[in-house]
A and B are shown apart, each in its own frame.
Chain A
Amino acid sequence: MGTLESPYECVIFGGETLKSTLRLVLSFLLINFRDRFVFFMNIILPVIFLILFGSIFGKGGAQKPTTALYSDVNVKVGANFVRLANVPSKDEVKNLKYDVVIVAINNRIDVYVKSPIDLAQGEFEFFRLAYASAKSEKKVVEVREHKLNIGHSISELKYTILGVITISFLSIGLNAGVRIYSDYVRYGLFKRFSVTPIDPLRLALGVGSAQVITGLLSSALNVLLSLILFGENLFVPLNTLWAYLLVVIAAIMINLALGILLSLLFKKAAPSLSQLVFTIFIFFSGVYFPVSILPSYLRVVTYLTPPRYVHLLLQKIYGIETVNWSHFLLICIAFISFGAMMTGLATRKFLQMSDTA
């Protein structure tokens, strides 16, 4: 390694300094693969989630019917209904394995609810409308439908896979922030760095780049597995590859900043708190569960979670008009700037602290 006159006079992309920066990136990258916990959270857990949620929403795992229906007219119903050929007797109703049995004859609908769980009454009301509609011989109101085209749709499976990728970015950034700026500070990593001519910018760049590379590898693995296991092609077209890279960098940087913030505020308790934040974000970011099912007061919370924005940005890359391009760029720049600022400041702070200690 070349010697430097002053640690702060280095040119990052010049000669030996570039080599040593790359070595730093490689070292932090190796940590992500050698530390089994980090490796599990960053690489294996997203794959497990992909297989689990993919099976639930994928082609092979169609929703199981929960309602049996006999109707004297052909009513349009969803996939959770199974049609009966004959009117079931009361004993047959009791013996059928479905949670609900509906018998609709001569303008009368009998709904037999067998499950003790309070089921959505709205579903029954919806069926009543559909039945009444099917019964209506001559419609007094003619509905003229106008479909507003705002781009193409995304399947439930694709939505979930993008959610899995979003959560893997959260895991990578958050864990790196907490590990490096809380655990490794205690283990004396920065103390060791402080006796070398390394400057904070280069170190911060090493930390950030290693996480971005991990994010790219993890998302590439999930995209590949989605194709192999579920036949869902999520490969990014070449013309939007720049946008994908930008989202990965933005996602990693904002989550890294979050991990750093937890480390600075809670120090030793940061690893535990990061797991709590991780759990809360999974449920409240609308990544796995649609935001629409949340109570209105909790919907506001979703706007405080970075995964919500990352998920919207990822959908945009696949042609869903979740945000316009100017907002897309604005969010990315804001996330990257905040992440870079936090990483730089925290690295400088810990290097200086170790230096003076």
Chain B
Amino acid sequence: MPKVWFGRDLVVLDGLYKQLFLRSKEAIFWLVVFPTILFLILTSIFGNVEQNVTVKVAIIGESEILERAFSGIQQISPKFFPYSKKEKIKEYLKALERETFDVLVVLPEGFDAIYSRALLLRRTKFFKPVTVEVHYIPVRDGSKLAFEMVRGILDTLDVQDRVEMVIHNLSTRRVDYNNFIFPGVVGMAWLSVYLFGFMNDMLWLNRRKMIKRLSVSPFNLLKIYLFVAIVNLTSLVLGISILTFVAWLKGVDVVSYLPSLIFNSLISALVLTFLTLAVLVFENRSSAIVAFEQIFFQVQMFAGGFYFPLKQIPSFVQVVARFLPITYTVDSVRKVMGLNSIANNHYLVPLVYLLISISVVITGMKKFHKFEG
């Protein structure tokens, strides 16, 4: 007898696997491929923000001193134009308006000589500062930043070298944004699989009256929920594997993340399985479920510190984040790299969610079995 049961179980599992996963292009795309696409999108935007942000400075007039000063600063991209172009200042101002560059500097003719003379006479009564005209657009952030940087350089041409700066890295390891974002995208994958995968699959079984048919057969209904969860776990494993491989190619330290990633994936899978089942006990209309999925997904994803450190988010959003279970599991994955925002008690809130959800599912099981009405 047990052998027969085992064989029947496999047939059902195989059927569900084909129907819910292999034949569903949407499931393959959203649950398996999309997390990797999102990872690539986010790392391409935020991965090299500093290198991407450079201010364009147009300088009318020649100066070796300024060329040297600008060359030491990565964030500035200077372009020198001959002094003779000063007559066309209106065209340059138009170019500034069109954002061809962020700031326009007009040097006096023979800047280097005038500057050197002023420097020599600095402590005498013959001293006269060198006037440099700087045009910028204060309502544009980029232009304002460029102006502040240029002013800083011009103000400190004579003293810059005297100020020494030493950077002490107190953390034992250095990681980039790609390493930070990786657990956030994994968190998004957890949510996608259980909200849009598992939950929608349960709705599909309901619509096709599968649960009703199975409830009058000797097949244990609990097994069907388990099998649907296994099918979705397969998509999760596949999706996270592809994501992990791509992340490794992008330089993420996946080896250090792996143990914590596996452990927290299992915890999250458990919490989300029972949470979604508990919601289904109360509500079975697909339109209401879709609304719940989207609200939970968007709020958890944007408020839960997936993409930016939780400690940098305003207090109000932090309060919301601390009521959400996946905030903690994502943060727990980051803990191995010292990138966590929550110091301890990473499993208290997920455990509360799990216990409440299990109680709801157990007490509402009868209703749940009949939920197709």
Contacts and interface: CB of A to CB of B under 8 A. Distances in A.
Interface of A: 35-37, 39-41, 44-45, 48-49, 52, 55-56, 60-64, 66, 93-94, 107-118, 120-122, 124-126, 128-133, 135-136, 138-148, 150-154, 269, 272, 275-276, 279-280, 283-284, 289-290, 292-296, 298, 320
B45 A112 contact: no
B295 A40 contact: yes
A63 B312 contact: yes
Closest 4 A-B residue pairs measured CB to CB? A61-B314, A129-B152, A36-B287, A132-B156
Contacts of A122: 50, 53, 74-75
A204 B166 CA distance: 66
A292 B58 CA distance: 18
A110 B166 contact: yes
Given A132-B155, A143-B155, 8 more contacts: A36-B288, A52-B317, A107-B164, A109-B166, A113-B168, A118-B177, A141-B129, A154-B139
Given A63-B312, A125-B73, A131-B163, A283 B173 contact: no
Contacts of B153: 129
Contacts of A63: 312
Contacts of B34: 276
A117 B45 contact: no
Nearest to B289: A36
Contacts of A290: 141
A45 B298 contact: yes
Contact of B135 (A115, A116, A148, A296): A148
Given A48-B299, A269-B25, A113 B164 contact: no
A148 B97 contact: yes
Interface string B16-58: 0000000001100110001001100110111011111100000
A116 B256 CA distance: 14
**Residue picked from B48, B299, B316, most chain A C-beta under 10 Å:** B316
Given A116-B339, A141-B132, A150-B139, A133 B170 contact: no
What secondary structure prevails in chain B residues at the interface with A? helix
A291 to B, nearest CB: 10
B122 A148 contact: no
B147 interface: yes
Q: Give the size range of B's interface with the partner.
A: 35 or more
A64 B314 CA distance: 7
B1 interface: no
B249 interface: no
A98 to B, nearest CB: 10
Nearest to B169: A113
A151 B137 CA distance: 10
Interface in B145-170: 147-160, 162-170
A148 B96 CA distance: 9
Given A126-B149, A276-B34, A145 B136 contact: yes
Contacts of A139: 129, 155
A142 B171 CA distance: 41
Contacts of B44: 294-295, 298
A138 B156 CA distance: 10
Nearest to A272: B26
Contact of B45 (A64, A129, A131, A283): A283
B113 interface: no
A236 B10 CA distance: 63
Given A112-B168, A128-B163, A283 B42 contact: yes
A116 B338 contact: yes
Contacts of B177: 117-118
B303 interface: yes
Residue among A45, A55, A148 facing the most chain B CB atoms (10 A cut-off) = A148
A141 B139 CA distance: 25
Interface in B176-205: 176-177, 179-180
A153 B139 contact: yes
Contacts of B3: none
Contacts of A108: 163-166
A56 B160 CA distance: 36
B291 interface: yes
Contact of A142 (B122, B131, B299): B131
A159 to B, nearest CB: 10
A136 B122 CA distance: 12
Contact of A117 (B48, B147, B339): B339
10 contacts: A36-B288, A55-B317, A56-B314, A93-B170, A107-B164, A112-B168, A116-B175, A117-B177, A118-B175, A272-B25
B63 to A, nearest CB: 11
B52 A294 contact: yes
B115 interface: yes
B167 A113 contact: yes
B93 to A, nearest CB: 6
